[in-house]
Every structure is written in structure tokens, then in C-alpha cells.
Structure 1
Amino acid sequence: MSQPIVTTGEAVDTAPATGTTSPPAPARQRDAFFDNAKYLAIVLVAAGHAWEPLRDGSRTVSALYMVVYAFHMPAFIVVSGYFSRGFDARPDRLRRLVTQLVVPYVVFETAYTLFTRWTDQEPDRPISLLDPLYLTWFLTALFVWRLTTPLWRWVRLPLPLALALAALATLSPSIGDDLDLQRTLQFLPYFVLGLSLRPEHFRLVRRRAVRIAAVPVFGCAFVVAYWAVPRMTGAWFYHRDSAEELGAPAWYGVVMTPVLFVCSLLLVACFLAWVPGRRMWCTVLGAGTLYGYLLHGFVAQSAGFWGWYDPVWIHRPLGAVVVTVVAAVVVTLLCTPPVRRALRFAVEPDLRWLFRREAAEPARDRAAVRG
């Protein structure tokens, strides 16, 4: 039987701050299901990046790559939306936006720019905080999505509206690269969907019947992807370009947006159906997936520079298996508590000194001392 989902974090923390004295809230219990889901998703992200140099020589790897890219980031974004349901303009929420998204973005955008000057041999590559480099786009997108959360809670039919915006984005090659707005808009429906979900929706996909049905669904997805590899570009699943930039007529984007959304959502549901709901050895790593996400890119960039893909055997089936295992091990290590403690200053900095204290905070502190 599936374990009940315990909503945590911003999804339920919606009470406004006041100056009244109240007993300290008990520590929030993390839900093992979501931590397991985040860990498995970050392993797929790392595997996908590791497969990129292998795609040209293997149609099978290309098909697996296409299937994984169809759902791994949508899964992350749906879960991010689910845990953003309680976001509002409270000062503590805005402070967390700065410390958990803005500051890490500045740090890692700068770090990746400096690092890729070396790995890409482009010593003059400028540091541009408006043009996210490599995987830092997710931080800017999540920042925008969370800021707009109150709007999506107020409007009627938020998901159709988000899909319409995503479709319009595919018609607009002039959007440009500022804050990777094209990708932010095209992935927006998944975040808005997450805002609309409730615990019972996750219980539905965790039923035994869904787990069984997920097997043929993923099998069919692989067959379709294998057929599609020589016939279409997998860049549609990156959601970073307009239809015209992908070499298709503009109206293709309007059609592909809902089609890709439905396909990705089906695979996300099947993926979540397979996620264990009990605590496992990897559950604790779910709290460190942002570390794995932001750090594994340095390893992926180094692999090409150091010629790790040059040996011929790497491009054979055994090599693809080895690359996958190595990617999984590396990203697993990067999610571990020791790495989190060592790099917390960059990923989750403590910047309380930077902000003014709310008027209610001294009163709470005095009450805590008296208590």
C-alpha cells in the first residue's frame, strides 16, 4: 500500500507572520516519496548529459536520450510547482528566493563562465547574468515561476493560459536569450500544473495498476523515440527554441506544445508510479539534489575537455553502460551530506545579515527568551 503523502515546505506554510507568541512548530517531516523522486530524477539528468557525446554513434542511445529528456525536467518542475503552492509575498519567502535562487545563480553563472573559458577554450567569454549559461537556466526560471505563483492562484483556467503562453513563445524567435525566457515560458505549464496538484493526485499515480501500465508505456515511448531519431530533432524537448529556430514552420510550435505536454505528462506519471514511497538508502540524497544538479555540470564539461570520450570502446554498448554508471555514482556523491556541508555557502548561503529584521521578529525573540 502506498504511504500517504505528507505535504511539506512552502506547500503548507501559508500562515502570515505575526507578533503573537506561539509554541515552536514541530520540525517538518520530509516525505520519502518526493525525496526519492528528486534523487532518481537528478540521476537521469546526469545520465542524459553523459549520453550527449554518445548519441551520434548509437541510435539506441539517442532514443533513450529522447525518452529521458521528454520527462526528467518536467518531473522536476511539476514537483517544484507542487511545493510552491504556498508561495506569497511574505518577507521570509522573498528572502528565501534571494538566498536559494538568486545568489546561487550569480555564483554558478560566474563559476560556469570562468570554467568554460577553459574547457571550451574561449578565454574571452563574457560573464553575463542576463544570459544563463548551461544548466543555470533552471534557477532563473524557478525564480520567475515562483514570483508569478500568486497570479496563477488567482486566475481562472491557469493551465490552459500557461499552455497558451508556451505556444505563443514557440511563435516568437525574437524573444531572445535574456534570462532564457523562451525556455521559462515553454516549461511554464509544468510548473502551473504542479501548483494545481494535491496529495490525492500523487496517490492516484502510485497505484499498482499504474505501475504495471507504466511498463508498456515506457516500452512504446522507446519504440516511438527509436523511430523518431532520424526523422525529428530531439531539441523540441529542450524547450529553448522557437519552431522556426528548429527548422519548422511557425505553426508547428502551436501544435507541438500541447502534444509534447501530454506525452511528457504521461511519462512523468509513469516515472512517479515507479518511485518508492518508503525510506531507502537514497532518500536522504533527495534533499541535496540542487547540489548534484549545479555541480555535476563541471564534471560533464571536464569530460569533453580531457578526452574521456575518445576511446573507441566508450561508444560501444558496454561503454554506454559504464558512462551511465559513472554519471549516476558522481551525481550521487555530489548529493551527499558532506558535500552539502562543504558547499552550503554557495548553494544555500546564510544571508540573514543582509536583510532587515521584521518588526515581529524581536518580539518573537523576546518571547522565546522569556519562555
Structure 2
Amino acid sequence: MRTINPEQAKSKTPNSRDYFFDNVKFILIVLVVLGHGYRPLIDESPIIKSVYLTIYTFHMPLMILISGYFAKSFNKEGQSKKVIATILIPYIIFQILYSLYDHFVYETDAINFSILEPYWIMWFMFSLFLWRLILPYFVNLKYPLVTSFALAILIGYVDDADQFMSLSRTVAFFPFFLTGFYLQRHHFEKLFSSWMRFLSGIGILALVPMFFYLDFHTSIDLNFRKWLYFVFPYEDVGYPEWYAGGIRLAMIALAFLASIFVLALTPRRKTFFSKIGSRSLYVYLLHGFFIKAYDAMDLDDKFPGPVLYISVTLASIALAFLLGSRWVQQISHPLLQPKVHWFFRKKTESRKLDNVPG
């Protein structure tokens, strides 16, 4: 007779929260903050750069995959309003705030603001809105996944596809979003065996020395950092050749493999950080203000060395916990989840409009 793991039984209880995904989101959002904290230091330490490249191998691809997994209700009533209220409007609010903040922190001559050119971290929100927008149409294609992979490779050959409308990242990362959409809970269950966890532990640890070796001890000149951003055209990373798409495909495969490692190692039960994971959007949208202030201080020039590396690591983790706390959520809630019901028609008004002869 088959025995049922209590954790699995709990996760299958109707209306119960699946803490596994909260835990994944916590791990990823901490790595987002840590990656941005390490960015000014990657030219100071080969080890820091190797860790940085490892983080960028999977943290955004997996976050996007999880976002796709939770987009399954796209065709339910009210979803279009929800997408506008929870993604587009917060995007516009923080796009404005970051443009103003950047002007004052870096003392620029003018405020550089554009809705269609996402500022730094805001690309994810804009791309997420576009993914949700095109999803209902894309799933009606005969081979949606194959098409998304083909487009992700082809977009790199377009020289002008970079920052405008986050076009390059939107197209290049879309296979992760679409893969997440098609995944079911039982697919994740296959990763939870003890041997899979063991192999994943070895695999994720091997990425750091792999990047250390490839980037510093071989003649390979790939500029991994730019490749892993999925934003630059192939010519901008020094590979205008026809086979550049094959390199991107390899990067996508590596991202999927590393994501599998992380998913297999993520705990399934409720943990002390599960709540932080459920508030990952707060951490994502707010941490940039602290990172920009830290970057403007040029601490890597004033205090170089291991003490700074350790301090940045601990401070990044602490910042994720702080911004994911309940009281920060309460304070910033009007910015991230504003009440915009007044912005939409009422159901009765919508029905009247539908009945108007066209």
C-alpha cells in the first residue's frame, strides 16, 4: 500500500497554501537583491563575479517561470482588470518614482522618464504585463512553446531590439513564462526525491567553479554577464555570426537546468521565510531605492576587500527580510496594490455596453 508523505497530503488539501512556491520566491528575491548588491563588486573579485554569474544563470528565468505557472487563470472573469491593477498600474507608479529618485541621487541634468522604456528593474513588471497580455493569443498557436523558443533566439539578431518596450527581454524570456504556464504541480513533485536533491546540490555548487574557470582561466571570451541578461543583440556581445543563436539556446538550457536544481533543493513545508516569499513583489519593487543609494556611495572604491563583500552579502539578506516584513507591506501597500476599482466600469455598465448594437 502506498504511503502518503504528510507534507504532500497537506499541500493537496483544498484551499491550503502551497508553501513550496513561497519558499522558491523567497530564495529568488534574496538572490535578486544579492545580485544587485554584488554588481559594483564584480570587477574587484573573481569569486564575487563567479557567484554573481551563477545567480544570474537562473534567478530571473525561474522567477519568470513561476509567474507563468500562476497565470493559468488568465481566461477567468476579471483577470484583465487584475492584470491592470496589480501589474500595469504599479509599474507606472514605480517607473515615475524611480525616474525621480534617479535624478536626485545621481544629480542628473534632467528627469529621464518614459513609460515605454522601463527603468532598470522595472523591465520585469513591463514584460510581465506584456506576457499576460499576449498569453491568451499565444496558447492558440499550434506549437506555442516551439514558437516561443524560436522567437527568443531570433530576437537576438535584431540590432535595435533592446530597451524599448523591454522588447528583447520580453521575447527572450518568454519561453520560461510559457513553460511555467504549461507545468502542473505533479511535474514539480518529480524533483523531490532524495537522489534528485543530492544531484541538484552538487549541480548548483558546481556552477560557481565552472564560471570561475570559464571566465578567468580559459581563452573563451563570451562575456557571460551580457549573455545572461538576455537583453543585448548578439552583435553587441561581440558575436554577429550566424551561430550566435546557438549560444543563446545553450544559455537557455543552462538556465532551465539550474532552475531544476534550485526547485529540487527548495523546502516544501512552511518555513520562517515563507511569508517573505509571499511578499516578494514588495521586496522587488522597493529594494532598488536602497541599491541605487548604495551604488552612488562608491563603497567598492573606498572600502575594497573581503570585509565589504561580507557586509554587502549580509546587508542584502537583511534588506530582503526588512522589505518583506509585515509593517513595510502595510506602509507601502497603497503604492503596490492601490485601490483602483473606480478606474473600471461596473458589471452593469459593461453589460449595457455589450448590448449596444454595433
Structure 1 and Structure 2 fold alike (TM over 0.5): yes
Deviation at 1:137, TM superposition (A): 0.4
| Structure 1 Cα separation of the partners of residues 208 and 9 of structure 2 | 31
| Structure 2 Cα separation of the partners of residues 199 and 168 of structure 1 | 31
- Could you say if the C-alpha distance between residues 175 and 89 of structure 1 is closer, same or farther in structure 2, counting changes exceeding 3 Å? farther
**Structure 2 counterpart of 1:75, from 43, 57, 62:** 62
2:197 equivalent in structure 1: 211
| Structure 2 Cα separation of the partners of residues 254 and 278 of structure 1 | 40
| Structure 2 Cα separation of the partners of residues 164 and 33 of structure 1 | 31
Whether the 8 Å contact between 2:32 and 2:59 is mirrored in structure 1 is yes
Deviation at 1:266, TM superposition (A): 0.6
**Structure 1 counterpart of 2:222, from 209, 223, 232:** 232
1:113 equivalent in structure 2: 99
Whether the 8 Å contact between 1:165 and 1:185 is mirrored in structure 2 is yes
- Could you say if the C-alpha distance between residues 7 and 147 of structure 1 is closer, same or farther in structure 2, counting changes exceeding 3 Å? farther
Deviation at 1:350, TM superposition (A): 1.4
| Structure 2 Cα separation of the partners of residues 257 and 30 of structure 1 | 36
Does 2:261 align with 1:270?
yes
| Structure 1 Cα separation of the partners of residues 26 and 10 of structure 2 | 17
1:345 equivalent in structure 2: 334
| Structure 1 Cα separation of the partners of residues 117 and 349 of structure 2 | 38
| Structure 2 Cα separation of the partners of residues 227 and 151 of structure 1 | 43
Quick one: which amino acid aligns to residue 102 of structure 2? T
Whether the 8 Å contact between 1:5 and 1:203 is mirrored in structure 2 is no
1:63 equivalent in structure 2: 50
| Structure 2 Cα separation of the partners of residues 65 and 328 of structure 1 | 15
1:175 equivalent in structure 2: 161
| Structure 2 Cα separation of the partners of residues 68 and 252 of structure 1 | 26
Corresponding pairs, count: 341
Deviation at 1:181, TM superposition (A): 0.6
Whether the 8 Å contact between 2:162 and 2:231 is mirrored in structure 1 is no
Quick one: which amino acid aligns to residue 259 of structure 2? V
| Structure 1 Cα separation of the partners of residues 68 and 209 of structure 2 | 30
Whether the 8 Å contact between 1:50 and 1:323 is mirrored in structure 2 is yes
Deviation at 1:7, TM superposition (A): 8.4
Deviation at 1:248, TM superposition (A): 1.2
Q: Deviations over 1:95-140 (max 9, x none)?
A: 1111111111111111111111122221313211110011000011
1:11 equivalent in structure 2: none
| Structure 1 Cα separation of the partners of residues 59 and 133 of structure 2 | 23
Does 2:172 align with 1:192?
no
TM-score by length of 2: 0.90
Structure 1 spans left out of the alignment, 5+ residues? 9-25, 363-371
2:291 equivalent in structure 1: 300
Deviation at 1:294, TM superposition (A): 0.6
| Structure 1 Cα separation of the partners of residues 281 and 74 of structure 2 | 19
Deviation at 1:356, TM superposition (A): 1.2
| Structure 1 Cα separation of the partners of residues 100 and 183 of structure 2 | 40
Percent identity of equivalent pairs: 28
- Could you say if the C-alpha distance between residues 176 and 51 of structure 1 is closer, same or farther in structure 2, counting changes exceeding 3 Å? closer
| Structure 2 Cα separation of the partners of residues 268 and 320 of structure 1 | 25
| Structure 2 Cα separation of the partners of residues 103 and 143 of structure 1 | 10
